[in-house]
Amino acid sequence: MSIAPTTPSLRDTPPRAGGEFSVLRAVIHRDLLLALRRRSALATVLLFFVIVVSLFPFGVGPEPNLLRAIAPGVIWVAALLSCMLALARLFAADFADGALEQMLLSPTPLGLIVAGKVAAHWLMSGLPLVAIGPVLALQFDLDQSLLGVLALSLLIGTPVLSLIGAIGAALTLGLRGGGVLLALLVLPLYVPVLIIGAGALDAAGAGLSALPHLLLLAALLVLAAVFTPWAIAASLRISAE
């Protein structure tokens, strides 16, 4: 049985509908679906995070005070690195198979599409760290009261990493040796997030309030969420030319 070929007319075309945020939803949905159908890429990033964090207690030795002191820095640095690892693939596949061109030619503002891609990227590579980080912190004998602060700082900080990193991913798209260049470009920009994020834990560990640090991180997140999508979009247009 086959459906008779129809001659579509202008009448049965739905108007440009759904609004622009439905495109945002569609992009997030597609990228999550793709990640679910290819879980190995996702697992690589998370395992990398787990392994890097777990190496330190082995290397440094079982000295509780030392471990407690280095825990915030180690977990945050590992989060930066695993976020970087996932970034290299953010636009590469769409660039290779031509899907990126279609996004560049969309009537929907590119910044919005890009925001969707970064959001999906964070949901897959940033959000899991928020859950895993505090568990790994137990290896460092981190005080239980600090685990909440750690999770919260990762929750606010990792989206900033994804947003800033995506600019680098867009700029290095299609370049040979882009992966190394990406690290050189992006890691220095991660320094403020690292200092503030790890600082929140240091402050809480010293009995001070972590709130100022968390608020600073949140301010960074707001700034990044507003400005980086347009910077990413502009970088993509240059790279794809």
DSSP structure class, residue 175? -
Q: Of the two residues 108 and 158, which places its CB atom closer to other proteins in the complex? A: 108
Using CB under 8 A as the binding rule, whether residue 206 contacts other proteins is answered as no
Letter for the amino acid at 35?
A
| Contact positions with other proteins (CB under 8 A) in 28-47 | 30, 33-34, 37-38
User: Residue 218, Cβ neighbours under 10 Å: how many?
Assistant: 14
User: Is residue 176 close enough to count as binding other proteins by CB under 8 A?
Assistant: no
> Which is it for the CA torsion 28, 32, 33, 34, positive or negative?
positive
Q: Is residue 8 a contact point for other proteins (CB under 8 A)?
A: yes
* Of residues 31 and 157, the one with the C-beta less far from other proteins: 31
Nearer to other proteins, 112 or 187 (CB): 112
The phi-psi region of residue 209 (left if phi > 0; otherwise alpha if psi is between -120 and 50; otherwise beta) is beta
Question: By the 8 A CB rule, do 67 and 140 touch?
Answer: yes
Considering only residues 78, 84, 85, 113, which one is a binding residue for other proteins as defined by CB under 8 A?
113
What string marks each residue from 67 to 106 as x (binds other proteins by CB under 8 A) or -?
--------------------------x--xxxx-xxxxxx
Tell the smallest beta-carbon distance from residue 121 to other proteins (Å): 16
| Two tokens, residue 16 | 């440009």
116 Cβ neighbours under 8 A, 6+ residues apart:
23, 24, 25, 26, 27, 28, 31
Tokens matching residue 218: 């949140």
Kindly tell me which of 26 and 187 has the beta carbon lying closer to other proteins: 26
Q: Using CB under 8 A as the criterion, which residues of the chain lie in contact with other proteins when the complex forms?
A: 2-3, 5-10, 12-14, 16-18, 22-23, 26-27, 30, 33-34, 37-38, 93, 96-99, 101-109, 113, 240-241
